[in-house]
């Protein structure tokens, strides 16, 4: 187990480096000038060229190396060793001001929102996306497993059919339709829940519910299939023959095994719920990561594109690792 | 089974921890939506109108625009008075003694010079660099520094790291010396600043009121500047605009800025005019979705929407007009009495339809003609001939675009400068278009005129013209405008046309490289002078997408810089605009834009309906909340008439 974790953690920087290189090549090829206001005045060409040079956007190799230099902490180490960092902090204190922040791993500025460091954008948006994604997954598991068990206990009954229809709707309807529908019903007509924004648990309910439905639907189908399979298996028949109560058969025997495919689905699903909530974020005005991803690509905001991609890929690697570890822990038969 | 529950419990615990760490703030005196998040608060870098509005809240220039003066006059701000030399080339500003930064330090003349130097240096220059070129020596200094940086990049490759660092420092010392000696800025004392211009600029005070000319606090911003030994450039780091670091000199100070969530402002305790402010706290929420913005207003989450952009805003505008029609007599009387548009809404019976406000904007929707001699594919360009452009301009149904495509009640445009937006400027007549024809005979005559123009240009059969492409980006209904124009050209003259839709960044690149035949365009003015619209048609101007060149037009613009009599000068510029919109037609003006905002005029005072639409958020007041004067601010009546 420990060697698995170690091996994956050692692979992580290599994976991240390859992803950085590929992302930068692709993002660099996107047409357009990220420093340009698409509806406004264009500065004279020599000023536009000087602006690009300010961010090393005039040379691919220079950008590639300088990003690696600051993102890996090399620049920080150099400035610390040479005493440059201490000198700056001293100068700031001399003027009665807080010294400039000096992060070890500097992911650069955003090119569209030039006052923002990518790291602070990510730090602000990540908790939002993570909590929204987590709540959505919790709701999805609760809804999905319940529906799946109900369906499996009485296959082809009315209850089974009903959950099948709901699951089908959950998977096929895009979240901007479901989101807007929920918003209209609960926010505007019933006035039970706020129409959007972030900052209190009650504001999380609608976006999390919207986000959870496709996952809930998939989990319901996985659970139902697994349950039907296991309920018909020999060990369940044996348990019933031994007089084990129906509830215990369902939950202690069948569900325990039927849940394993759900568990392995939860890894990518959690990653997807945390990172793929762009539409939901937009409909409910949630300040999460997804919007930055889309906007960054549209604005050709190189630093932000790379930052978001690196965070997403790191999360995916780590969540997959977490699921593998959990899986072994839940079912020790797996090597 | 217990083992199965553990992962779920872990998820729930993580969730609770995150939610508990995030506490909401109490509601501010005034909450508004700024359209979009500011891209930067660094005055030298601002570019978007949303940036400009926030800039005016946080910083204060030497002078300010008096937005409730019908003529948008200049009012003292950080400078209490100023003197202009007889030749109009030297401005002497006297800073007020009480002007303070938000940390209590006095605002000094040197703070302006430092800020302007950042805007002028190629290392940190940005979109509004051209505004600084009016200052003596700026062009030469910029070119010298650019050349020196290029030379440095060439030579430094062979240097040892230590020599390179020293060479970069030497270059910077030389740069500072040249800036001090060559650029027409002189700090006489901490409270006296002299600016020398290359030639008289009648609107220079308006530029000084523009955020690009606002000061920054050198002890703070200097901390973030770094001399890059590899390139010799000064690299200006981000981060100093974030609270609690930001030090500013405007009416409000920034206390919270959570990216894409909210910004919170509190009165700057050191601001010299703090007692006249009517709100103590302002919150700018960040709601990106246009429909969600309207919803936020309707549920009371925000008090003011600067820009209504919801897909159903045409209907909102139509309802507002229906509301005016219902109270027509009352409305007419109030207009006759000379009240401003917002005051009229305040006096009409309350109605939810009255919350939407439509005011003229300082911008025009245009259709570009490429004037280059050759088309992008290398064939001769028929549009290089002004007669062809004029014929095409005549054959557009502009009212259909205003009413059916846009539907916001925008006035049809014949000129590029919106008429009535500049005091003392008489707009030229401009060309008629299809929608000006009231009868079929008039229409036939106009079509005949267009055909005659084409025949003169060598196209007796308009169908023989090469296919005219109409290029646009897919957003904002430009596709519908293009369809409407293409249909006009096909139906009236039988010209072959083709619609070309591009993604926005590709579209922008096509404009820049003149790789189009005709295209959609728009232009907003930055300062109150016709030049802000006319300069973009000068030969070689960075925003001359049309590749238009007419030496006579250029020299008319040059003449406006020498002419000292203001009325004569404006008349000269009107002649230049007449040349553009009646003879040369490098573009067709389609409609003059309007601004659609949303607020309850009976509850909120402070927005002004001026055609140049500078909203000074620091003047806003929630009426009847017991904070500030609670008195309505309005445009002076007798002059407004």
Q: Which residues of A touch B244 (CB under 8 A)?
A: 98
Average pLDDT value over all residues in chain A = 84
Selected residue with higher pLDDT from B433 and A44? B433
- pTM of the model as a whole: 0.84
Instruction: Kindly determine whether residue A117 and residue B238, on different chains, have CB atoms separated by under 8 Å.
Output: yes
pLDDT computed for residue B248 by the predictor: 95
Alpha-carbon span B435 to B412, nearest angstrom: 9
Mean of pLDDT values over B399-405:
92
Mean of pLDDT values over B434-440:
91
pLDDT at B321 over 70: yes
Question: Can you read off the two tokens belonging to residue A75?
Answer: 């620049």
- Contact between B581 and B589 under an 8 Å Cβ cutoff? The reply is yes
Q: What are the helix (H) ranges across B383-527?
A: 386-394, 398-400, 440-456, 478-493, 504-512
Q: What is the percentage of chain A residues whose pLDDT exceeds 90?
A: 9
pLDDT computed for residue A55 by the predictor: 86
pLDDT computed for residue A233 by the predictor: 84
Q: Which residues of B touch A43 (CB under 8 A)?
A: 125-130, 542
Distance of residue B390 Cα from the nearest chain A Cα, in angstroms = 26
Mean of pLDDT values over B256-267:
90
Question: Which candidate in A114, A184, A188, A323 is best for mutational testing of the B interface (most B CBs within 10 A)?
Answer: A114
Quick one: chain B helix, strand, coil %, rounded to 5? 40, 20, 40
pLDDT at B480 over 70: yes
Mean of pLDDT values over A298-303:
88
Q: 3-state SS string over B99-133?
A: CECCCCCECCHHHHHHHHHHHHCCCCCCCCHHHHC
pLDDT at A1 over 80: no
pLDDT computed for residue B28 by the predictor: 92
Q: Which residues of A touch B40 (CB under 8 A)?
A: 113-115
- List chain A domain ranges: 123-299
- Contact between A27 and A306 under an 8 Å Cβ cutoff? The reply is yes
Q: In terms of C-beta density within 10 A (0-12 exposed, 13-18 middle, 19 or more buried), how is residue B173 classed? A: exposed
- Contact between A313 and A328 under an 8 Å Cβ cutoff? The reply is no
Q: Does the CB of B33 have a partner CB in chain A at under 8 Å?
A: no
pLDDT at B23 over 70: no
Q: Which residue has the tokens 């993580």?
A: B14
pLDDT computed for residue B583 by the predictor: 93
Average pLDDT value over all residues in chain B = 90
pLDDT computed for residue B21 by the predictor: 66
pLDDT at B167 over 50: yes
Alpha-carbon span B371 to B231, nearest angstrom: 39
Q: What is the percentage of chain B residues whose pLDDT exceeds 70?
A: 97
pLDDT at B156 over 70: yes
Q: Which residues of B touch A32 (CB under 8 A)?
A: 504-506, 508-509
- Which stretch of DSSP H or E encloses residue A180? helix A175-182
pLDDT tier for residue A313 given thresholds of 50, 70 and 90: confident
pLDDT computed for residue B64 by the predictor: 94
**Quick one: DSSP state of residue A199?**
S
Q: Which of B612, B617, B608, B615 is nearest to B636 (CA)?
A: B608
Q: Cα–Cα distances in Å, from A127 out to A133, A275, A319, B20, B573?
A: 10, 11, 15, 12, 56
- Domain A123-299 sits in CATH at 1.10.3720.10
pLDDT computed for residue A37 by the predictor: 76
Q: Nearest-CA residue of chain B relative to A297?
A: B505
Question: What pLDDT digit, counting tens, does each position of B486-509 carry?
Answer: 999 999 999 999 999 988 878 888
Alpha-carbon span B300 to B168, nearest angstrom: 56
Alpha-carbon span B209 to B196, nearest angstrom: 17
Question: What pLDDT digit, counting tens, does each position of B83-114 carry?
Answer: 999 988 999 999 999 999 999 999 999 999 99
Selected residue with higher pLDDT from A4 and B253? B253
Q: Which of B118, B80, B16, B55 is nearest to B614 (CA)?
A: B55
Buried b (16+ CB within 10 A) or exposed e, A209-241: bbbbbbbbbbbbbbbbebbbebbeeeebeebee
Alpha-carbon span B268 to B104, nearest angstrom: 10
How many CA within 13 A on the CB side of residue B227? Answer: 16
Question: What pLDDT digit, counting tens, does each position of A182-220 carry?
Answer: 888 887 788 777 777 777 777 888 899 999 988 998 998
Instruction: Kindly determine whether residue A115 and residue B241, on different chains, have CB atoms separated by under 8 Å.
Output: yes
Q: Which residues of A touch B41 (CB under 8 A)?
A: 115
Ranking A250-259, B470-479, B550-559 by mean pLDDT, the lowest is A250-259
CA A75 vs. chain centroid, Å, equals 29
Angle at B333 between CA B332 and CA B338, to 5 degrees: 95
Question: What pLDDT digit, counting tens, does each position of A93-106 carry?
Answer: 877 777 777 788 88
Q: In terms of C-beta density within 10 A (0-12 exposed, 13-18 middle, 19 or more buried), how is residue A327 classed? A: middle
Q: What is the percentage of chain A residues whose pLDDT exceeds 70?
A: 99
Winning range, highest mean pLDDT, from A65-79, A312-326, B132-146, B278-292: B132-146
Angle at A149 between CA A223 and CA A201, to 5 degrees: 85
Q: Nearest-CA residue of chain A relative to B23?
A: A199
Mean of pLDDT values over A81-108:
80
CA dihedral for B567, B568, B571, B573, sign (positive or negative): negative
pLDDT at A334 over 70: no
Q: Which residues of A touch B11 (CB under 8 A)?
A: 134, 137-138, 270
pLDDT tier for residue B205 given thresholds of 50, 70 and 90: very high
Mean of pLDDT values over B206-213:
94
pLDDT at B49 over 90: no
Alpha-carbon span B286 to B295, nearest angstrom: 13
ipTM above 0.90, yes or no: no
Q: Which residues contact B42 (CB under 8 A, 6 or more apart)?
A: A114, A115, B216, B240, B241
* DSSP letter string, A103-126: -SS---B-SSSTT-BHHHHHHHHH
Q: Nearest-CA residue of chain A relative to B119?
A: A47
Q: What is the Cα Rg of chain B in Å?
A: 27
pLDDT at B640 over 50: no
pLDDT tier for residue B4 given thresholds of 50, 70 and 90: low
Q: Which of A248, A225, A249, A228 is nearest to A237 (CA)?
A: A249
Question: What pLDDT digit, counting tens, does each position of B344-392 carry?
Answer: 999 999 999 999 999 999 999 999 999 999 887 888 899 999 999 999 9
pLDDT at A149 over 50: yes
- Is residue B281 helix, strand or coil? strand
Please name the residues between 492 and 511 in chain B that touch chain A, using a CB distance below 8 Å.
503-506, 508-509
Q: Does the CB of B544 have a partner CB in chain A at under 8 Å?
A: no
Ranking A115-119, B116-120, B248-252 by mean pLDDT, the lowest is A115-119
Q: Which residues contact B31 (CB under 8 A, 6 or more apart)?
A: B282, B283, B284, B285, B301, B302, B303, B304
């Amino acid at each position: 187990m420990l060697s698995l974790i170690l091996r994956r953690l050692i692979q992580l920087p290599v994976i991240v480096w390859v992803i950085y290189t590929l992302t930068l090549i692709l993002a660099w090829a996107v047409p357009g000038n990220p420093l340009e206001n698409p509806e406004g005045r264009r500065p004279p060409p020599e000023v536009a060229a000087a602006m690009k040079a300010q961010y090393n956007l005039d040379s691919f190799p220079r950008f590639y190396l300088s990003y690696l230099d600051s993102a890996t902490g090399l620049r920080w180490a150099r400035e610390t060793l040479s005493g440059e960092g201490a000198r700056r902090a001293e100068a700031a204190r001399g003027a009665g001001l807080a010294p400039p922040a000096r992060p070890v791993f500097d992911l650069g500025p955003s090119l569209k929102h030039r006052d923002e460091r990518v790291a602070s954008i990510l730090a602000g948006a990540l908790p939002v996306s993570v909590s929204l994604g987590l709540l959505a997954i919790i709701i999805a598991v609760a809804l999905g497993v319940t529906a799946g068990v109900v369906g499996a206990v009485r296959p082809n009954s009315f209850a089974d059919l009903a959950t099948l229809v709901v699951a089908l709707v959950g998977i096929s309807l895009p979240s901007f339709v479901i989101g807007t529908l929920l918003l209209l019903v609960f926010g505007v007509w019933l006035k039970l829940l706020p129409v959007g924004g972030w900052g209190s648990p009650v504001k999380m309910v609608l976006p999390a519910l919207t986000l959870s439905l496709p996952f809930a639907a998939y989990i319901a189908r996985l659970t139902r299939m697994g349950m039907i399979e296991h309920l018909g298996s020999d060990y369940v028949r044996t348990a019933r023959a031994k007089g084990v109560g129906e509830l215990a058969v369902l939950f202690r025997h069948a569900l325990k095994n039927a849940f394993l495919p759900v568990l392995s689905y939860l890894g990518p699903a959690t990653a997807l719920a945390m990172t793929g909530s762009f539409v939901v974020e937009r409909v409910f005005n949630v300040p999460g990561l997804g919007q930055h991803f889309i906007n960054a690509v549209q604005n050709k905001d190189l630093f932000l594109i790379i930052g978001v991609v690196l965070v997403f890929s790191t999360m995916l690697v780590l969540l997959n690792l977490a699921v593998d570890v959990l899986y072994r822990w839940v079912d020790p038969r797996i090597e | 089974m217990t083992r199965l529950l553990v992962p779920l419990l872990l998820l729930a615990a993580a969730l609770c921890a995150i939610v508990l760490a995030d506490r909401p703030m109490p509601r501010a005196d005034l909450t508004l939506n700024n359209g979009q998040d500011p891209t930067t608060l660094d005055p030298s870098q601002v570019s978007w109108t949303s940036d400009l509005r926030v800039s005016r809240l946080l910083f204060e220039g030497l002078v300010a625009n008096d937005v409730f003066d019908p003529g948008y006059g200049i009012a003292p701000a950080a400078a209490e008075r100023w003197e202009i030399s007889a030749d109009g080339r030297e401005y002497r500003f006297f800073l007020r003694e009480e002007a303070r930064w938000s940390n209590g330090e006095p605002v000094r003349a040197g703070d302006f010079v430092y800020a302007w130097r950042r805007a002028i240096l190629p290392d940190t220059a940005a979109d509004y660099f051209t505004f600084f070129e009016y200052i003596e020596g700026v062009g030469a200094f910029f070119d010298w520094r650019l050349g020196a940086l290029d030379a440095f990049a060439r030579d430094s490759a062979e240097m040892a790291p230590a020599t390179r660092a020293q060479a970069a420092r030497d270059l910077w010392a030389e740069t500072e010396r040249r800036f001090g000696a060559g650029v027409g800025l002189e700090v006489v004392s901490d409270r006296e600043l002299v600016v020398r211009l290359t030639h008289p600029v009648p609107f220079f005070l308006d530029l000084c009121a523009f955020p690009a000319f606002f000061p920054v606090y050198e002890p703070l911003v200097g901390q973030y500047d770094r001399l890059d030994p590899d390139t010799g450039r000064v690299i200006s780091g981000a981060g100093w605009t974030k609270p609690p670091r930001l030090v500013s000199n405007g009416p409000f100070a920034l206390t919270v800025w959570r990216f894409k969530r909210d910004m919170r402002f509190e009165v700057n305790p050191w601001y010299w005019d703090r007692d006249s402010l009517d709100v103590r706290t302002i919150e700018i929420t960040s709601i990106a979705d246009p429909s969600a913005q309207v919803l936020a207003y309707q549920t009371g989450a925000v008090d003011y929407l600067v820009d209504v952009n919801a897909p159903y805003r045409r209907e909102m505008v139509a309802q507002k007009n229906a509301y005016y029609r219902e109270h027509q007599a009352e409305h007419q009387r109030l207009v006759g009495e000379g009240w401003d548009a917002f005051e009229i809404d305040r006096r009409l019976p309350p109605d939810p339809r009255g919350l939407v406000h439509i005011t003229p904007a300082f911008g025009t929707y245009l259709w570009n003609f490429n004037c280059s001699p050759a088309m992008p594919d290398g064939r001769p360009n028929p549009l290089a001939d002004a007669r062809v452009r004029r014929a095409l301009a005549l054959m557009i149904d502009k009212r259909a675009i205003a009413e059916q495509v846009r539907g916001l009640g925008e006035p049809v445009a014949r000129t590029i400068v919106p008429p009535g937006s500049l005091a003392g400027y008489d707009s030229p007549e401009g060309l008629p278009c299809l929608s000006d024809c009231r009868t079929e005979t008039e229409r036939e005559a106009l079509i005949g005129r267009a055909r005659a123009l084409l025949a003169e240009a060598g196209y007796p059969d308009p169908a023989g013209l090469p296919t005219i492409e109409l290029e646009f980006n897919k957003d904002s209904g430009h596709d519908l405008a293009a369809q409407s124009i293409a249909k006009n050209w096909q139906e009236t003259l039988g010209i072959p046309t083709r619609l070309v839709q591009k993604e926005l960044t590709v579209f922008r690149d096509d404009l820049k490289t003149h790789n189009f035949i005709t295209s959609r365009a728009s232009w907003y003015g930055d300062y109150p002078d016709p030049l802000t619209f006319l300069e973009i048609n000068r030969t070689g101007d960075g925003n001359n997408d049309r590749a238009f060149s007419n030496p006579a037009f250029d020299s008319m613009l040059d003449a406006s810089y020498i002419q000292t009599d203001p009325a004569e000068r404006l008349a000269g510029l009107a002649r230049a605009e007449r040349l553009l919109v009646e003879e040369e037609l490098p573009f067709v003006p389609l409609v003059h834009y309007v601004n659609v905002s949303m607020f309850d005029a009976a509850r909120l005072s402070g927005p002004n309906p001026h055609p140049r639409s500078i909203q000074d958020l620091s003047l806003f007041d929630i009426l009847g909340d017991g904070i500030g004067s609670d008195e309505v601010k309005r445009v002076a009546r007798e002059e407004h008439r």
